[in-house]
Amino acid sequence: MIVGIDLGTTNSLVAYYTEDGPRIIPNRLGKNLTPSVVSVDEEGNVYVGETARERMNLYPDSVAQTFKRSMGTEREYVLSGKHFKPEELSSMVLRSLKEDAEVFLGEPVTEAVISVPAYFDDKRRKATKRAGELAGLKVERMISEPTAAAVAYGLYDRTLDTRFLVFDLGGGTFDVSILELYHNILEVRAVAGDNYLGGEDFTEVMEKLFLQKAKLQLSALSEKEQVRLYRQAEKAKCAINDSDRVTMSFRYKEEALEQQITYKEYEEACEELLMKIREPVKKSLADAGLRLSDIDEVLLIGGATRLSVVRDFLIRLFRKFPDTKMNPDETVALGAAVQAAMKERREEVKEVILTDVCSFTLGTEVVVEYEEGKYEDGRFCPIIERNTVIPASHTERLYTVRDNQEKMRVRVLQGESRFARNNLFLGELNIDIPKGPKGQESIDVTYTYDINSLLEVEVKVVSTGEAQKMIIKGEENHMSEEEIKKRMEELAYLKVQPRDYEENRLVLLRAERMYEEALGDRRKKLDHYITAFEAALKKGDHDGIMDARNELNEIMEAEED
């Protein structure tokens, strides 16, 4: 069975294709969204999703979130003294989704189509693929999030040619993509974005506003207080969507602090973030050679597009109302499920050709003549420019710059800077050339980039026909099957808790957090119901557990209100 997975910065989802179209698979708690949060305790127990997020309130140093932002980097997260790479944490989220899908579908899930931000570079895409492999999933196909969204909207099934802009603002990443549909081809024309911009940043704006009004410094708060403040800021950010002001409350050193924040204040404080949104929109239009008036539809995806401050800004920017008919949190996962059905050659799905683009320019280092007889090295020569439709193959002819030159070196680089040193180094080839006057001998450098993010580099000496080839796989981020198996064995000490206990663990963690926050009679009341629930768990009576859990939940709901 092949499923579609949206591995998000804030939340992740899994979906599958049915006769009635794509459907989200609920997790073990019966919810569609699984928070992309992982916690590991001192005994090596792993918690994923809501349970892990609840643990953050009690054990901040045992929890990691927003690790998608660090995919493809060397960053390590330390949870309860144990070290993990971003893709290893992502693999735990994927494994949880895989288990939920297998229980729901009643059959093994062996393969997944995983979505990635359009602006993810080669390293980040390979790290995502590796996360899937560590979770026990075969990942032969990744789909860019805007393309998945377009597929979910059913644009692949339209008869009219359409140009549309997909605006994707998730929890931690931002993409803007321009796609064009003609006949049965869905082509990405241009992508731009920011891997470090998302809904989390809008929460931080609310948090800073509160601290400013309350005359508090974030550094003065303990780790637990910082987690509680962020949680309150998240609630206030969502609440201000429906009103012109919100009251944000926070308990600091046993004192209840309250501050009123108006929508106008919040909107002004978000101005810098909104300006960061504008630039990728302009860049993508320019790269596609289009104006806003050429765009037929604007689609919004990503949970952060629900924010009124974002939607108001976009209406002013696009001078039209975006299409919001689908749940922005679920759109990408549904599109990935459609792509999975296409991969399975399901008859119910109309076959469509999905094209993608190379998100970053690929080129090499060259020497340039800036005055007659004067040369400067270290310059960047683009070969496949960003937003080129892939698969693509381009050739550049390069000449010798010295008399009797015996070798030419081709350094493979990725980036947009004029200077080679500022771009990402991917590998290099050295080839022998016949001696001769400068400018007489030359090589043809051919870059071929495919939809699986594999770059083939061929260097051919024009005069002799001698050639060398290499495949750039991002070896520093590549793991063989043996290495993946070994790392899976190393991670085997981690204990994934039985999924049947998930709801009970979550209730106990929430109750423990609320007990710590409460005082006086409220604390005594909570203690009474927590003790009753723990006693029911020890007895193991299913009906007794359900009754005690429901009572504790009712008390907590009343206390939270």
Express each pLDDT in 352-386 by its tens digit.
677 778 888 999 999 988 777 788 899 999 999 98
Exactly one of 50, 54, 68, 88 is catalytic; name it. Answer: 68
pLDDT tens-place string over residues 455-476 = 899 999 999 999 999 887 544 4
Q: Is the dihedral of CA 253, 209, 260, 313 positive or negative?
A: negative
Q: Where are the alpha helices (DSSP H) in 395-519?
A: 481-490, 502-517
Tell me, what amino acid is at 445? Answer: V
Cβ(199)–Cβ(305) below 8 Å? no
Share of the chain above pLDDT 70, in %: 94
What band does 437 get if pLDDT is binned at 50, 70 and 90?
Answer: very high
Angle (deg, nearest 10), helices 145-152 and 331-343: 90
Q: What is the pLDDT of residue 161?
A: 79
Exactly one of 87, 99, 133, 145 is catalytic; name it. Answer: 145
- pTM, rounded to two decimals: 0.80
Q: Is 521 a catalytic residue?
A: no
Q: Residue 478: is its pLDDT beyond 60? A: no
Mean pLDDT of 100-105: 96
Strand partners, 309: none
Mean pLDDT of the chain: 89
Give the pair of three-digit tokens for residue 213.
């009004």
Q: Is 145 a catalytic residue?
A: yes
Angle (deg, nearest 10), helices 199-214 and 223-239: 110
Q: Is 525 a catalytic residue?
A: no
Task: Give Cβ neighbours of residue 549 (< 8 Å, ≥ 6 apart).
Answer: 503, 504, 507, 533, 536
Exactly one of 87, 99, 100, 168 is catalytic; name it. Answer: 168
The single-letter DSSP state of residue 492 is G
CA angle 272, 277, 278 (to 5 degrees): 95
- Greatest mean pLDDT range, 29-33, 157-161, 346-350, 412-416: 29-33
Burial 151-175 (b: 16+ CB within 10 A, else e): bbbebbeeeeebbbbbbbbbbbbbb
CA atoms within 13 A on the CB side of 449: 26
Q: Is 235 a catalytic residue?
A: no
Q: What is the pLDDT of residue 492?
A: 66
Q: Residue 549: is its pLDDT beyond 50? A: yes
Q: What are phi and psi of 66, to 5 degrees?
A: 50, 30
Exactly one of 6, 175, 194, 329 is catalytic; name it. Answer: 6
Tell me, what amino acid is at 40? Answer: V
Q: What is the pLDDT of residue 475?
A: 41
